[in-house]
Amino acid sequence: MSEIKTVGVVGSGTMGTGIAIVVARAGLRTIVLDAKQEALDHAREQAAAFLAKSVARGKLAPGQDEAIMAQWQGTTRMEDLAGCDLIIEAVFEDLKVKHDLFARLDKVCPAHTIFASNTSTISITEIAGGSARDDRVVGMHFCLPAQLMKLVEMSPGLNTSDDTFRKAWSFCQAIGQKPVETRDTPGFILNYFLIPWHNDVINMVDQGIAEPADIDLAVKTALGYPLGPLELLDMVGMDTQKLLSDAMYGLTHESRAACPPLVKRMIGAGRLGRKTGAGFHVYGDNKIFGA
Amino acid sequence: MSYQIIQRGESLSFPDPHPFIDTASSMGDGVVLIGGEAGQAWRRGVEAAEGKSFIAIELDTECLGVHTGEDEGPVNVVGFARFRLGDDAPTGLVELVRKPYTDPDAVQAARAAFEAAGLVVAVCNDFPGRILNRLVRPYYNAALRRLDEGLATASDMDQTLCLGLGYPEGPISLLNRTGLHHHYRVTQALYEALGQEAYVPARRAQVAWARRQRDAA
């Protein structure tokens, strides 16, 4: 049984919203922090739509969606996270941003609060180094779309205590996720492979080897993947892919991790993916996946 | 869409009976050349293929341009391959290869023939590795290298990729099951064509290929 009862999620973007759905769905009090009220409103709206769809599909009982959303509280005030046992950050992939966040949270939260990072590329040890409580920081990388995918890559930093890791692991299992322990290396397992793979696909489009629809069709048909790589990239967003690539390339200097020029052009054109209605494909709406 | 099948050598795309082969006729609007020597067979009989709605040449790792020429060539010729991984049976995917000068009607006619037999067609231009091999080989190489470097165990790596991305099978399991030596053969061909480090066959694939060669000697 997990000792964690109240969870803070910082950042209400695609990942933060998905993680908050998972936590609230497990019956835990969930406090979502974002600097912008409109971002919180949007996240709440998307979560409610996703859960309503789950009811319509018979995956939740009627009324359960409302009960889950009753566990969900949005806030723009960091002080509201003071009662959290665990805080999961899902903010920009920038070490300084994460250091600033955890340093401020350290002043607000009690000593027992565990800080978790949903980072997909940055070293947990480095993030923990700016937290003022590096023995209580753990990597907890959810997969996109978090509300549907079970895997969580769990990484201890060099100074993470066994007790912290055990509690975080138990929490992960308690909310119905499947934790896998990974080493604190760039990209852990998933993104070490996924970021270069996505860059390869983007370069393939840029080089005119095939159209996006044909590439997605080929991958899904031949390999049995549930999503085509360009469909998945449209969910990730070009802005995020650039951040991930820049972070990964900065750490590994592997050529396949370098951000492709087409990503920068698509960002310039406002073609970020599903969130703007167009990326490699064109979308009729910007609903969260599964809603 | 009627078509004639001409087989020259062992076919990687159609090693076993398939509706696409069964529904061919002795004479047809199109011609499909299958087998390891399909390209050579087409070059020997170019004149006989004139006037056909399409001519489809089975490809292995080579580009279509090897047979048709690069900057200009016959407008009714396309290349194709059913994607398969090593010892696995061919998948339902046909990669249909066109040149810049290929007539769209020929592409459409070939597509219709394959789709009528229940195959799925993805069209691509004439580049080494087409779509799938171009994409998956660097990824498989990276997985093999990271396994050597101790990132995680083979089963943890496979499990993470399956759980995290919904893949039906992890890369290490897939390569071991379908034959690492096959991965070497395709990847080495791509490395020779592209000259990019990502296509250098990983150590484990080199070992598998060397053992295969030794056992065959």
Residues B143 and B193 in one domain: yes
pLDDT for A237 equals: 94
Q: Can you tell me the ipTM of this complex? A: 0.96
Q: Which CATH number goes with the domain that contains B47?
A: 3.40.50.720
What's the gap in Å between the CA of A75 and the closest CA on chain B? 30
Do B20 and B117 fall within a single domain?
Answer: yes
Check CB contact under 8 Å for A196 and B135.
Answer: no
* pLDDT of residue B44 exceeding 60: yes
The parent domain of residue B22 ranges over 3-125
Mean local confidence (pLDDT), A270-283? 95
Q: Would you name the residues of A annotated as active-site residues?
A: 120, 141, 153, 191
- pTM for the whole thing? 0.84
Residue B196 belongs to a domain with what CATH number? 1.10.1040.10
Q: What is the per-residue pLDDT across A134-182, written as a single tens digit (0 to 9) for each?
A: 999 999 999 888 999 999 999 999 999 999 999 999 999 999 999 988 8
Rounded-to-integer distance, Cα B114 and Cα B100, Å: 21
Q: How far apart are CA A34 and CA A63, in angstroms?
A: 27
- b/e map B72-82, b = 16+ CB within 10 Å: ebbebbbbbbb
Are B17 and B75 contained in the same domain? yes
What is the reported pLDDT for A287? 59
pLDDT computed for residue B153 by the predictor: 87
pLDDT digits (tens, 9 = 90+) for A84-116: 999 999 998 889 999 999 999 999 999 999 999
Q: How many CB atoms lie within 10 A of CB A119?
A: 26
* pLDDT computed for residue A144 by the predictor: 82
pLDDT of residue B82: 98
CA distance A168 to A173: 9
Both B139 and B198 in one domain: the answer is yes
Please tell me the distance from the alpha carbon of residue A229 to that of residue B211, in angstroms, as a whole number: 35
Q: Are residues B102 and B155 part of one domain?
A: no
- Where residue B152 falls among pLDDT bands split at 50, 70, 90? confident
pLDDT higher than 60, residue A266 = yes
Instruction: Report pLDDT for A288.
Output: 55
Q: Where are the domains of chain A?
A: 6-181, 191-276
Looking at the structure, do residues B25 and B107 belong to the same domain, yes or no? yes
Pick the residue from chain B with its C-alpha nearest to A193: B139
> Does B151 sit within 8 Å of A183, measured CB to CB?
yes
Q: What CATH number is given for A191-276 in this structure?
A: 1.10.1040.10
Task: Say yes or no: B110 and B16 in one domain.
Answer: yes
B121 with B137, same domain: the answer is no
Sheet holding B3-7, edge to edge: B3-7, B30-34, B54-58, B77-82, B93-98, B120-125
B14 and B105 together in one domain: yes
> Which chain A residue has the Cα nearest residue B131?
A215
Q: What is the pLDDT of residues B22-38, one digit of tens each?
A: 999 988 899 999 999 99
CA distance, residue A111 to nearest chain B CA (Å): 32
Quick one: CATH architecture of A6-181?
A: 3-Layer(aba) Sandwich (3.40)
**pLDDT score for A289:** 52
Residues B36 and B105 in one domain: yes
Res A262: pLDDT: 98
For residue B152, the chain A residue with the least C-alpha distance is A182
CB contact under 8 A, A182 and B152: yes
* Residue A285 pLDDT exceeds 80: no
Of B95, B138, B164, the CB nearest to A218: B95
Contact B101, B166 (CB under 8 A): no
B93, B163, B166: residue with CB nearest A218: B93
Last residue of a domain, one of B96, B125, B154: B125
The answer to whether the Cβ–Cβ distance between B135 and A200 falls below 8 Å is yes
Same domain? For B73 and B178 the reply is no
Q: What does the alpha-carbon distance between residue A54 and residue A35 come to, in Å, rounded to a whole number? A: 29
Tally of structural domains, chain B:
2
Q: Write down which residue in B90, B125, B160 finishes a domain.
A: B125
- pLDDT given for residue B27 in this prediction: 81
Of chain A, the percentage scoring pLDDT greater than 70 comes to: 97
